[in-house]
Every structure is written in structure tokens, then in C-alpha cells.
């Protein structure tokens, strides 16, 4: 049988209000001497009293739970294979949750009859949405959300700045990559993206590439945009051409790895025949051969910031600033080098 506050009060010879003040910090207007407080703590310890967290949260209308949602169209998140994007992001979210004594639940579609249920049925104090796939189903779910919500990767302007947002400085990151390649003498540079990525940050990165290459002026002869098909057949035909780029920047890590694999199969050496730069720069880049040069998206810090903004919203505070943009870096590894003097058709 569980021990209640009234049981502790009876043993300590004080009121239940005094016990609540000592053990839970409630009833702050009640003054309790240190002698009485110690008597209460001793009684609670001797009787094996444990706070009923669920009952307390119910009374206070709090669950101390954060839900992490990926949305429709993003696929199942992976921790242990391919790009460590999700693992890095979750490291930051968990760090932030621990700092604020919150718990975290992953719920792409795991709870309720639909994702909308998981977003608004009261089981979470707040939600973090990390999908950058801006399709109608996702828009509808976000717009219907009735609990505090923070968006990762999606600009707040999509929802009339109703929700706080956390993004990296995509323009800065792409600019660093273009500048690096130009400094190595590359004059034919491409940006590779997937069609679905253009609904989110992929569009921002594509536009940043266009601006950065335009700003490079005469240092670049040709800036190429490559839309990657599912089977990557287009990139193979481009790499076989004498008009192929000498360097490619990709919108994330995994297509960079695929491009390096295709180049190797075609007999092209990375980086001597083709330099490749990815985006995110997780530990996955270190596992590739050659190790992948990549734009560093501060995923761990982004996760922490998202939780911080969410906790402010949960407490009824207006996050300031509501939109956080974190700087990028460029981690130079082995997949970039000086541009080849001559491109030979395969």
C-alpha cells in the first residue's frame, strides 16, 4: 500500500499542508522551521514515501513529456545506419530535455489513431517537429496543433510565424563550400538535390548555391544544378560526360556518398577527378572512403535550442527570439582537392 502525504503528516505530527511545503515546495506562504522540516523528511524516509508523479502532473495539467514528430513522407528515422543526422539531432533534444527535467517520446505515427491525435490529445506538454518535407498533409497537421510546437528546418513564415523555429544558416554553409572549391581552382561546380527537398530547406540551399556562384563571378565558368532521380541515372550520365563538373555539392550526406560510389564504379577518383561536398557533417562522413568534406550543420545545438524554445512556450513565455538561426561551418576532410587540369570523357 502506498504511503500518502496524510500518512507522513500523522507520523510527523504536522498538517498535510506543511508536508506538501517541505517535500514538494508547494504552499509557499507556509513558513516551516528547519526542525519541523527535518522531522517531516525523516518521517517520509522511514515510511518509504514516494511522490506520485502521475497524480501531481494530472493536478498541475502537466505531463513533463515532449513529443518528437517526423511527419508524413519522411520515412522511419535511423540511429545506426547511413547518415547520423537523426542520432545527432536527438542527442541535442535529449540534452535539452534532461536540462529541463522533461521526458522525450518519438512518435512519427505511433500513438493515437492518427498523427493529429499525438499532436493535440494532451499526452504531451509540447512537440518538436523536425521534418523539412513541406507537403499538404504536414501543413494541415501543424496548423491543427493545439499544444506548444517548435519547428526544425521549416521557416516560421509558412505558418504566419505562429510557431518558434530553429534552422541552420544554409546560405552561410553553401557559401563556405563554394568559396572552398573556388580556392582550389574549381570552375565547373554543381549542386545536387532531390525534387522533394525543394519543399523545405533544399530550396534554400539550392538558392544559396545560385547566389554564391553568381557572386563568384569570373572565378566560375559554369554552375550546374542536378536533380537527382531515385536511381541516380542522371548523375551517372553526367559523370560520363566531358562536360561534367569537377566538383559537386549535395544537399545532404547520403547522396554525396552515393555519388562517390558511382564515380568510383566509373573509374573516377575522388577527389583527384571529382571533389565532393556533403551537408550535415555527422560522424558518418568519417566512415566513408575517402572521408567526406561536409558543411557542418550544428544538429546537437539545434536540438538543444528547440527544447529551450519549447519549454519557454510551455511556460507561457514568448520565445525571444522566436526564430533561431545557428551558424554553419565547413569540415574539410579527404573528398576535396585541387581541380583537375583536364576533364577526359569516359
For the stretch 123-144, pLDDT in tens is 788 888 886 565 666 667 777 7
Domains of the chain: 5-51 (1.10.260), 65-168+299-326 (3.40.50.2300), 170-297 (3.40.50.2300)
Find the mean pLDDT for residues 254-277: 95
pLDDT for residue 30 is more than 60: yes
Whole-number pLDDT of residue 137: 66
Q: In this prediction, what percent of the chain has a pLDDT beyond 90?
A: 42
* Contact criterion met (CB below 8 Å) for 101 and 311: no
Question: Measuring CA to CA, how many Å separate 324 from each of 99, 210, 285, 305?
Answer: 19, 24, 26, 8
Whole-number pLDDT of residue 112: 44
Find the mean pLDDT for residues 38-51: 81
Q: How far apart are CA 109 and CA 258, in angstroms?
A: 29
Task: For residue range 192-235, list pLDDT tens digits in order.
Answer: 988 766 667 888 899 999 999 999 999 999 999 998 876 678 89
If pLDDT is split at 50, 70 and 90, which confidence band does 160 have? confident
pLDDT for residue 167 is more than 90: yes
Whole-number pLDDT of residue 199: 62
If pLDDT is split at 50, 70 and 90, which confidence band does 114 have? low
pLDDT for residue 269 is more than 90: yes
Whole-number pLDDT of residue 110: 39
Whole-number pLDDT of residue 1: 54
Whole-number pLDDT of residue 289: 95
Q: How far apart are CA 186 and CA 341, in angstroms?
A: 10
Average pLDDT score over the chain: 83
Whole-number pLDDT of residue 32: 80
* Contact criterion met (CB below 8 Å) for 195 and 229: no
Q: In this prediction, what percent of the chain has a pLDDT beyond 70?
A: 80
Find the mean pLDDT for residues 65-89: 74
If pLDDT is split at 50, 70 and 90, which confidence band does 100 have? confident
If pLDDT is split at 50, 70 and 90, which confidence band does 113 have? very low
More confident residue, 63 or 175: 175
* Contact criterion met (CB below 8 Å) for 8 and 43: yes
Find the mean pLDDT for residues 56-83: 64
- Most confident range (mean pLDDT) of 200-204, 252-256, 312-316 is 252-256
CA 276 to chain CA centroid, Å, is 23
If one counts every other C-beta atom within 10 angstroms of the C-beta of residue 100, the result is 14
Amino acid at each position: 500500500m502506498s504511503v500518502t502525504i496524510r500518512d507522513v503528516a500523522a507520523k510527523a505530527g504536522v498538517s498535510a499542508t506543511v508536508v506538501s511545503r517541505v517535500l514538494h515546495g508547494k504552499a509557499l506562504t507556509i513558513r516551516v522551521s528547519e526542525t519541523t522540516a527535518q522531522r517531516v523528511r525523516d518521517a517520509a524516509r522511514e515510511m518509504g514515501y514516494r511522490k506520485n508523479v502521475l497524480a501531481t502532473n494530472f493536478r498541475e495539467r502537466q505531463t513533463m513529456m515532449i513529443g518528437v514528430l517526423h511527419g508524413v513522407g519522411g520515412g522511419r528515422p535511423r540511429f545506426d545506419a547511413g547518415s547520423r543526422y537523426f542520432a545527432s539531432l536527438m542527442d541535442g533534444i535529449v540534452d535539452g530535455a534532461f536540462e529541463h527535467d522533461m521526458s522525450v517520446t518519438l512518435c512519427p505515427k505511433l500513438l493515437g489513431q492518427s498523427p493529429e491525435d499525438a499532436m493535440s490529445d494532451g499526452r504531451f506538454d509540447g512537440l518538436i517537429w523536425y521534418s523539412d518535407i513541406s507537403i499538404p498533409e504536414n501543413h494541415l497537421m501543424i496548423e491543427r496543433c493545439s499544444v506548444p510546437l517548435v519547428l526544425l528546418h521549416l521557416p516560421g513564415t509558412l505558418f504566419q510565424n505562429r510557431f518558434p523555429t530553429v534552422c541552420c544558416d544554409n546560405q552561410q554553409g553553401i557559401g563556405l563550400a563554394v568559396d572552398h572549391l573556388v580556392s582550389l581552382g574549381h570552375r565547373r561546380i554543381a549542386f545536387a538535390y532531390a525534387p522533394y527537398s525543394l519543399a523545405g530547406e533544399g530550396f534554400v540551399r539550392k538558392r544559396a548555391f545560385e547566389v554564391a556562384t553568381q557572386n563568384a563571378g569570373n572565378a566560375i565558368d559554369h554552375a550546374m544544378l542536378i536533380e537527382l532521380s531515385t536511381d541516380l541515372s542522371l548523375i551517372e550520365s553526367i559523370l560520363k560526360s566531358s562536360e561534367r563538373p569537377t566538383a559537386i555539392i549535395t544537399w545532404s550526406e547520403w547522396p554525396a556518398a552515393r555519388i562517390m560510389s558511382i564515380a568510383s564504379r566509373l573509374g573516377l577518383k575522388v577527389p583527384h577527378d571529382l571533389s565532393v561536398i556533403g551537408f550535415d557533417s555527422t560522424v558518418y562522413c568519417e566512415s566513408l572512403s575517402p572521408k567526406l568534406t561536409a558543411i557542418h550543420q550544428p544538429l546537437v545545438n539545434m536540438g538543444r535550442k528547440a527544447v529551450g524554445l519549447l519549454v519557454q512556450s510551455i511556460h507561457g513565455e514568448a520565445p525571444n527570439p522566436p526564430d533561431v538561426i545557428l551558424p554553419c561551418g565547413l569540415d574539410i576532410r579527404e573528398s576535396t582537392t585541387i581541380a583537375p587540369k583536364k576533364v577526359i570523357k569516359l
